Structure 1
Amino acid sequence: MQNAKEFDLVVYGASGFTGRLVAEYLVKQYANDSSLKWAMAGRNADKLAQVRDEIGAPADTEIVIADADDPASMQNMLARTRLVLTTVGPYQLYGSELVAMCAKSGVDYVDLCGEPVWMREMIDAHHTTAQASGARIVFSCGFDSIPFDLGVYHLQQLAKQQLGSSITRVKGRVRKMRGTFSGGTAASLKATLVAAKQDPIKMQLLLNHFSLTPDFQGVEQPAGTKPYFDEDLDSWVTHFIMAAINTRNVHRSNYLLDYAYGKDFVYDEMLMTGPGEKGEAVANAVAADKSMSGDKGPKPGEGPSKEERETGFYDVLFVGITKDGQQLKVSVSGKLDPGYGSTSRMIAQSAICLVKDAVDTKGGIWTSAPAMGNKLIKRLVKHAGLRFHQE
């Protein structure tokens, strides 16, 4: 039984930049909480021990040696834990075997994946196996895609309470954001583009809004790529780079929730840049920016300073528009840099929620909303600095 495992969760990749932040957060949040048993895992014992000491973790914090090139060491890690929290990406390069092993072994799994083509490959290969073993596998438990997935979920819940039904048209609009996309996000984007250019089938999946909903193709969706003036919001809007993963996860949530948002659900995400000529100029500049797919962005293992992480923030607006023109607005905002500071807290709370709270969630490959829903929202508000607010 999983309850007999030595650890509730293991942070795999704890000596990397983001993995270290996750471990540091767990130390600060749960240092005096004996009910959470966790360990640090990775390839190099000396590096892990150094990180353990630098972040102020207790000296008896367990270190688990797990190397993707050594399947026996990976299986040993799984034998000791209920859940693996992995920050080792790009996942299409380093994650496939771990997902397969978790699905087969009945071990829960969370990651920070923003790679929809790989995620679809994992769904096709391992969803049925995970259902049989009881493993709950939840991708995209960071800034992509938790604020967006749970933001739409929260709005739809309010719509049913206040309007009597779900809303089939929702706009996700990033109003404010200060922070850096992670080096892992940039590396994942590059790896995805390289793979898609080499394989027409992967390119089709990459461009398909319903790539994560096998056997279901919904109604046509907005492209969300070109700047335009959004009269509903009195602002110019432009391409938001993470829409390519967030929209796919939101549609998968709808699919897994038995189309609770409707089979004709339409959702897009864009970045708000303000009104007037200035807003238009900023929108066009953002649309022309290709730096994330170039070589100038952060490298995996690199990231912003502590001060930069702690002064970051984000604010995302979700506008539900009914067929008769009524609007329902919800915002999701967060403290800290979205790609690192907030992400490390979100994935940590997702892991804890899955093993402590979402005990009734069955095995399979999930998204955050159907797997954890309000239980995760409650945790994020209480422990991770997020705010869900009706406007």
Structure 2
Amino acid sequence: MTTSDREFDIIIYGATGYTGRLVAEHFVRRFGSASDGPKWAMGGRNQAKLEDVRTLVGASPDTPVVVADASSREAMEAMCKRARVVISTVGPYQLYGDELVAACARTGTDYADLCGEPAWMAEKIAELHDTAKDSGARISFSSGFDSIPFDLGVLMLQDHARSKFGKPAPRVKGRVRAMKGTFSGGTAASLGATMKAAAKNPKLFGVLGNPFALTPGFEGPSQPNGMIPSYDDALGKWAAPFVMAPINTKNVHRTNFLLGFPYGEDFRYDEMMLTSPGDAGKAAANAALDMMKNPFGAKPPKPGEGPTEEERENGFYDVLFIGEYPDGETVRYAVKGRYDPGYGSTSRMLGETGLALLESDAPGGIGTPGSILGKDLVERLREHAELTFEPEG
């Protein structure tokens, strides 16, 4: 099914929300009013708010706005038929995302979002993967900080490992060496919705705890437990649980699964955050474990709230991936990003994912940034999102 003659190349749906506005800002920075840029529009439920955001982000007054209700099957299908790609920032996706992703799957419209809700993702994979394959729609969940730096970081490490040792590393450790950023109300709302859903349906806890929840029909080997603080002898620092690991690890395994196991069927992977050596590092690692129980504190941010422009500009992250072999050989690869990881960097990553989908010739289906776009997306992020991907040592 061809979508090349559609009215728009990309619709940013949810443009009046916190992250959606940042994606629109990225498009304005990238293209301004250049006639050779993609044909893009801003979508949402309220025309007046869309027009206000269009002015706020400095978009041209003739930038189209598309009004559509996320709860309406008819409205979502009509919107999707107008675009080659839809970028969605309307979460929690388990509350507001059903009709849009289903419409994209039916109409052959490519789709990218920021979803970090694995139970919903597993449900949509079971429900819509074959539909998307048939229509040619490429569905890319988790196209922001969760899980692009980790998904693509492992992909690039394994490519480097094959060039160095002739084979992939069967064991990879993802270690966040440094990170500065804040949460938004959307992130808090997504976690809250996930916990409420699991309380109503305890079977969902099994999905949340299963590293292979997004690889239907495949159960790999027992995985390392990144939820236990531990001392990393090789790095000389304590390692603490990392709040994004439960979703990132699932996406890494799904990429391996969809690409035909280039990392091996015995691949083992975990993610943790490094603290420091000695007793101070141990105390910090244990404190991080306690924080996992309530990452947003007593007053979580409300939807629509997020870091200030200054906080976004001053944020950063630095992730090290270490591939280990049974004979003791190791290989290292680093992914670093400028800007607040969850918003300043995420908005750029999501925007570039949407743009990369315009040029992709990957088959349809529900995939990951790594399985659908791979190295092509890495190059876009290097050039347009101020991420670095490079071997170490």
TM-score (normalizing by structure 2): 0.97
Judge which range, 34-43 or 144-153, deviates more: 34-43
Runs (4+) off by over 6 Å? none
Deviation at 1:70, TM superposition (A): 3.2
Contact 2:71/2:99 (CA < 8 Å) preserved in 1?
no
* 1:102 corresponds to: 104
Letter of the structure 1 residue corresponding to residue 132 of structure 2:
A
Contact 1:291–1:297, Cα closer than 8 Å, also in 2:
no
From 308, 326, 338, the counterpart of 1:335? 338
The gaps in structure 1 that reach 5 residues or longer are none
The number of residue pairs the alignment matches comes to: 389
Give the aligned partner of residue 16 of structure 1.
Answer: 17
Residues 46-74 of structure 1: per-residue CA shift (max 9 Å, x gap): 00000101111000000000112333322
Aligned to 2:389: 388
CA distance in 2, matches of 1:86, 1:65: 14
Summarize deviations over 1:182-235 as a string: whole Å, max 9, x none: 322221111112211221321111110100000000000112112110112111
Deviates more, 1:277-286 or 1:295-304: 295-304
- Report deviation, 1:34: 2.4
Q: Which residue of 1 aligns with 2:367?
A: 366
What code does the residue aligned with 2:256 have?
Answer: N
User: Is the 8 Å Cα contact of residues 108 and 135 (structure 2) preserved in structure 1?
Assistant: yes
Deviation at 1:295, TM superposition (A): 4.8
Q: Structure 2 residue aligned with 1:326, among 308, 324, 329?
A: 329
Equivalent residue letter for 1:16: G
Counterpart of 1:2 in 2: which secondary structure?
coil
Conservation of the 8 A alpha-carbon contact between 2:212 and 2:250: yes
Q: Does 1:355 align with 2:358?
A: yes
Query: Residues 289-328 of structure 1: CA distance to partner in whole angstroms, max 9, x if unpaired?
Result: 1332655222221001100100000000000011111110
Cα distance, 1:180 vs structure 2: 0.9
Partner of 2:238: 236
Contact 2:71 2:96 in 1 (8 A): no
| Residues 1-391 of structure 1: pairs in structure 2 closer than 5 A | 1-31=2-32, 32-289=34-291, 290-292=293-295, 295-356=298-359, 358=360, 360-391=361-392
The question of whether the paired residues in 2 share the 8 Å contact of 1:190 and 1:293 is answered with: no
Tell me whether 244-253 or 296-305 shows the greater mean CA deviation: 296-305
For residues 190 and 372 of structure 2, the distance between their equivalents in structure 1, rounded to whole angstroms, comes to 24
The more displaced of 60-69 and 71-80 is 71-80
CA distance in 1 between counterparts of 2:79 and 2:381 reads 27
Tell me the C-alpha RMSD between the 2 structures.
Answer: 1.1
Check the 8 A contact 1:181/1:338 in 2, yes or no. Answer: no
* Contact in 2 for aligned 1:247/1:269 (Cα 8 Å): yes
After TM superposition, the score normalised by the length of structure 1 is 0.98
- Code of the aligned partner of 2:28: V
User: Are the counterparts in 2 of residues 227 and 287 from structure 1 also a CA contact under 8 Å?
Assistant: yes
Q: Secondary structure of 1:343's partner? A: helix
Q: Secondary structure at the match of 1:331?
A: strand
Counterpart amino acid of residue 338 in structure 1:
P
Letter in 1 for 2:382: V
Give deviations 1:143-199, integer Å, cap 9, x for gaps: 000000000000000111111001110000000000013322221111112211221
After superposition, give the CA deviation of every residue in 1:213-259 in whole Å (9 maximum; x if it has no partner). 00000000112112110112111001101000000000000000101
1:355 aligned partner, one-letter code: L
Counterpart-to-counterpart distance in 2, 1:319 and 1:183: 33
